[in-house]
Amino acid sequence: MTVTDHFERCAQVMRDQGMSDMAVAQFGHLYDVWANGSEATWIREADVEPLHDVPSFHDIYETIDHDQAVHAFAKTAFIKLNGGLGTSMGLSCAKSLLPVRRHKARQMRFIDIILGQVVTARERLGVPLPLTLMNSFRTSADTLKVLESNMRFRQDDIPVEILQHQEPKIDIETGEPVVWPACPDLAWCPPGHGDLYSTLWESGLLDMLWNKGMRYLFISNSDNLGARPSRTLAQYFENTGAPFMAEVAVRTEADRKGGHVVRDRKTGRLMLREMSQVHPDDRQDAQNIRRHPYFNTNSIWIRIDALRDLLERHHGVLPLPVIVNNKTVDPTDASSKKVVQLETAMGAAISLFDEAICVQVDRMRFLPVKTTNDLFIMRSDRFHLTDAFEMEDGNYIFPNVELDPRFYKNIDDFNERFPYNVPSLAAANSVRIEGDWTFGQNVAFYGNAVLQDQGRPSYVPNGEFVGPQGIEPDEWMF
């Protein structure tokens, strides 16, 4: 059978599942790139220029008339990417339904905080700020229940949801859609957050927003609570006249293996270069954080008219770079059938716009939760959740946290070992927990705190201090 035959099998199962022509067309782009091997095209160091001297949020803040900025903010719509299940933490529901911390005796989930940010902005600034979630087929029902039950959040004129497409996982041996009778849902996956653009086009949301007077989109991940709506950035974006603006942050050594923003020498356009696109000979330069100082936070601003024109030229399917993920059909079973999942990244669209720009933001606007290590910090006393639903910290420079993945990777295991709350991190430089430890109330870490594996389940009693030597002894020897 030919590549075309294999794709047609995929297309047919998509149609049988009720997928639209747009979903099939987008998957066709991904499949064609993968089948022809062109996804491994390198972005060579000699072909790009490092990006420097990006304007910072602090500098911009001083130049903005914040009373006037409300007018730009009133023309901004808020879109949250909410398709992820949080499977890396053992979740089987939308990650946005995971409790983050308590506020006034209430457990607050990601989605509760997001809704709080929107309602607060609406009430305090008198702006419409429509919110639309891009859900996946796995996150839609549970998320909509939360929206319906929130007494303060109401939105009738703009859809609160657009539904991300789904596509078949590909059997790596045959190139055909995988079949998994034990759990048919596992044969399907979302096509990455780059699918947002086709979903926006197909849903008609861009025209609806335009007709309601919206001119700008602010788009970010639902697990990044730092990416809250900003009238300062809305006004700055309007002032620049740019079609696309990416929020970037300064790379640290911990970020050196991640994607970064560069400029194409040939076209002059900005590009998002992932490490999978870096040639082995260029890896040292690409990981040099002084040479390439900025990474993409996946928070972007787009002019609705510019995006609509671009999508129209490409019939709703943008030519984004394809990300090939080699996995198993059951992500919890490494022995299950090997498959390929094809995805695109939302931020990669920066290379499709002339005059796209970046703005440097602090870590206060980049607070992602990808693992229980991140959640550990978010639930700690390093943060305070304000009445405006902002996650505040003194300096946003956090201790490095390493929790033994055998006992803390999955959220149920994590919660079991911190039955009261996570220990205090106020005096901690770093935290490393090795082995199976459960924690009592009012435990505090300080310095470079370490707990060694005892080879058995162990317990840190109430009120103890944990430092470089483990649990601080009751009596000191002088």
Ligand-binding site membership of 412 (annotated): no
Ligand-binding site membership of 447 (annotated): no
Q: Is 44 within 8 Å of 100 (Cβ atoms)?
A: no
Ligand-binding site membership of 169 (annotated): no
Residue type, 424: S
How much is the CA Rg of the chain, to the nearest whole Å?
23
Query: What one-character DSSP code corresponds to residue 465?
Result: E
Q: Report the alpha-carbon distance of residue 251 to residue 288 in Å, rounded.
A: 9
Residue type, 463: G
Q: Is 472 within 8 Å of 464 (Cβ atoms)?
A: yes
Beta-sheet pairing, 444-451 with 424-433 = parallel
Ligand-binding site membership of 164 (annotated): yes
Q: Report the alpha-carbon distance of residue 408 to residue 325 in Å, rounded.
A: 25
Token couple for 75? 């023309």
Residue partners of 454: CB distance under 8 A and separation at least 6: 435
CA 273 → CA 13, 35, 194, 407, distances in Å? 33, 22, 15, 34
Query: What one-character DSSP code corresponds to residue 295?
Result: E
Token couple for 226? 């730092």
Ligand-binding site membership of 192 (annotated): yes
Q: Report the alpha-carbon distance of residue 191 to residue 428 in Å, rounded.
A: 39
Q: Report the alpha-carbon distance of residue 356 to residue 425 in Å, rounded.
A: 39
Sign of CA dihedral 278, 280, 281, 287: positive
H-only helix segments in 62-132: 66-73, 110-125
Q: Report the alpha-carbon distance of residue 329 to residue 308 in Å, rounded.
A: 35
Token couple for 452? 């060694």
74 beta partners: none
Ligand-binding site membership of 193 (annotated): yes
User: What is the number of other CB atoms lying within 10 angstroms of the CB of residue 284?
Assistant: 11
Residue partners of 40: CB distance under 8 A and separation at least 6: none
Of 33, 297, 22, 336, the closest CA to residue 163 belongs to 22
Binding residues for UTP: 95, 164, 192, 223, 370
Binding residues for substrate: 193
Binding residues: 95, 164, 192-193, 223, 370
